[in-house]
Amino acid sequence: MKGWSGNLLRIDLTRRKYVVQGIDPNILASYVGGRGLAIKILWEELEPGTDSLSPKNKLVLAVGPVTAYPGPNTGKLVIASKSPLTGGYGDGNIGSWASVHMRRANLDAIVIEGKAEKPIYLYIENDKVQFMDASDIWGLDTFEAEDRLRKIYGNNAGYLLIGQAGENLVKFATVIAQKGRSGGRPGMGAVMGSKMIKAIVIKGTRPLPPAADPALSKIGVDAIVATKSKPGYPFWLRQGTTATVEWAQEASVLPTYNYTEGQFDDFSKIGGFMVEKSKVLTRSCPNCVMPCGHVVKDLEAQLSELDYENIAMLGSNIGMDSLDKAAYLNRLADMFGMDTISLGGTLSWAMEATEKGLLKGDNGLEWGDVKAAARAVAEIANRSSELGQLLAEGSRIAAQRIGHDSWKFSMSVKGLEVSAYDCHAAPGMALAFGTSPIGASHKDSWVISWEVQTGRDSYSPEKAAKVIELQRIRGGWFESMVGCRFPWVEVGLELDWYSKLFKAATGTDLNLITLADRIYTLIRAFWIREYGGWSKEYDYPPRKWFEQPLSKGPLRGAKLRLDAYDSMLKEYYRQRGWDENGVPTISTLKSLGLEFTIPTLSKYVKLS
Ligand code: PTT
Ligand code: SF4
């Protein structure tokens, strides 16, 4: 098949063996790559109920048929596994040279299984794998470990690393690349740590897989030109995602004090214009024409690469009133290898618990106290204190442990902390968080800007439809053909370019709706299997948004309505072809070619 390599590299750490296997072309046609391929592999290969941190779990790296080809922003890869944070499906989409090298190694996917006896790193060159002793880099942060490995393998290779957080199985540990890219929010770094892998170094030296149409390069270059000619492009280069701080303040959705408010008094000190003023350089993923990694100097005068989510979660949401403070905590998260969104959401939960007298003494954390927050970050990464141990589990489990009503202000869905958008007055975005396939992530459906423009009060069927439409494009399409979605979402590159790129790469047309719905429904089946059943309450956003209204700002008094949310959720299920508890119906499973899930699902739920 053109556009793909058709190869999967399987690495068994326990036996220190590896093999390159062919991938069934029908699987590639039906699941495409990235997330699609990952969920198919995890469904087929994991035993139901596998412990996420056991050798039986598998880590999947997957690229897609657009990755690394000429085109706007094609240097990304999906990293997926069963999540130790949520117990369900988890993935992330990371920018790294590892994606380009995977394509040059002619690999569509790498599946890592088992567990090494002692710390190792993997050196993959084309279809050869070396299991390397990592004892001298185990315990190092991701920056230093990358520097050491680069001295050996040079700049012509891709690097994926974990820090101390991954080694110590912090539930929201991520995989880090190029000192500022972080992938796999739901604990993919902990899965790597559980397998005793400190790093994966990939070098591919072959030509990219041939495309079906030699015109691919021209289409790719034309799409780049089209991206650069968009009116929003120059401003994007100045501020990237960080401009969202001012937008979120204006719209009253900037997470503030653990999502208690939607506006922050000091927003201008952490906003896009402050980033623009403070910026010392800009970094990017490979093959990118819209570099968005804005690097500033932090409180310790060290370099820290920022995006909107980092600033909001480690700024306004925990009461940090200056950019250098948020940047400092962000750099620590990158070095230790932790997700800034879950870290910010877990710290803010602890700060609210302190305010309510539920955490005290050494375990207490005050809003805006950057030194105490930095100490807590280190203690979480190293699990070196009672507080660190508690918070390393994420806010959902921490809340279960300290009890009282603290679960109500764990700002998470299915255990994954909410990304940086307050939803007191955004029911559509609340639905997007509630139904995201990895927990409360914005990556699948960032419906909030549309919602702010078109009406925030409504819980209409159109809103459910819009959530699904965006999930199909963002979570289905971009995650399976594997490229960065920012050209489309941020500067308005027409989606048609991606159809053309896909067609030129593979020679086939893509049915976006069927592909995306197949992937979503299989992911839902995976959650049902791993949870041993399903309840619609798993798809509810955090309780605080229903019970505690905004107390300040133009939307004072706003909160979500439970009955209306429930109706909108039911409508969402209906449009997806799932029953009223969120379980896919038999006819939906059959129409999407997922009948193979029926015998398994029938053990856990009554299928209709
Ligand atoms: C993504 C999530 C995001 S989404 C942000 S900021 W964002 C946070 N960044 C972190 C970070 O940095 N350091 C850290 N230690 N933890 C972090 N956690 C958070 O992780 C990211 C960009 C961004 S920046 C976004 S929106 C877009 N996401 C895409 C996506 O999901 N799919 C896709 N096809 N294209 C995308 N393009 C954009 O990529 P996760 P990255 Mg990321 C400092 O990985 O797990 O998806 O988490 O990968 O290379 O850093 O790119 O305002
Ligand atoms: Fe990476 Fe940002 Fe470029 Fe996307 S726009 S490829 S996230 S640097």
Ligand closest to Cα of 286 equals 2
Ligand closest to Cα of 443 equals 1
Which H helix or E strand runs over 238?
A: helix 233-239
Tens of pLDDT, residues 447-499: 999 999 999 999 999 999 999 999 999 999 999 999 999 999 999 999 999 99
- Is 64 near ligand 1, meaning CB less than 6 Å away? no
Structure tokens at 18: 């590896």
- Helix ranges restricted to H, 131-243: 142-153, 164-167, 188-194, 216-228, 233-239
Return the pLDDT at 397. 98
Q: How far is the CA of 536 from the centre of ligand 2 (A)?
A: 35
Q: Which of 78, 307, 433, 471 has most ligand 1 atoms within 8 Å of its beta carbon, as the pocket-test mutant?
A: 307
Query: Given the CA of residue 479, which atom of ligand 1 is nearest to it?
Result: 34
Q: Which of 63, 224, 486, 491 has most ligand 2 atoms within 8 Å of its beta carbon, as the pocket-test mutant?
A: 486
pLDDT reading at 557 higher than 90? yes
- Is 288 near ligand 2, meaning CB less than 6 Å away? yes
Mean pLDDT value of segment 64-92: 98
Ligand closest to Cα of 490 equals 2
- Is 484 near ligand 2, meaning CB less than 6 Å away? yes
| Three-state secondary-structure class, residue 274 | helix
Residue 90: name the closest of 572, 510, 526 by CA: 526
* Closest residue by CA, ligand 2 atom 8: 284
Residue 35: name the closest of 472, 408, 398, 329 by CA: 472
Confirm if 563 and 457 have CB atoms less than 8 A apart. no
* Closest residue by CA, ligand 1 atom 39: 484
Average pLDDT of the chain, as a whole number: 97
Q: How far is the CA of 288 from the centre of ligand 2 (A)?
A: 6
Ligand closest to Cα of 440 equals 1
The residue type of 378 is: A
Query: Given the CA of residue 487, which atom of ligand 2 is nearest to it?
Result: 5
Which H helix or E strand runs over 417?
A: strand 416-417
Assign 78 a pLDDT band (cuts: 50, 70, 90).
very high
* Closest residue by CA, ligand 2 atom 5: 290
- Is 443 near ligand 1, meaning CB less than 6 Å away? yes
Return the pLDDT at 195. 98
Query: Given the CA of residue 334, which atom of ligand 1 is nearest to it?
Result: 15
Q: Each residue of 279-295: b (16+ CB within 10 Å) or e?
A: beeebbbbbbbbebbbb
- Is 183 near ligand 2, meaning CB less than 6 Å away? no
Confirm if 70 and 225 have CB atoms less than 8 A apart. no
pLDDT reading at 187 higher than 90? yes
Which pTM was predicted? 0.97
The pLDDT > 70 percentage for the chain reads: 100
- Is 487 near ligand 2, meaning CB less than 6 Å away? no
Return the pLDDT at 510. 84
Q: How far is the CA of 439 from the centre of ligand 1 (A)?
A: 15
Q: How far is the CA of 100 from the centre of ligand 2 (A)?
A: 14
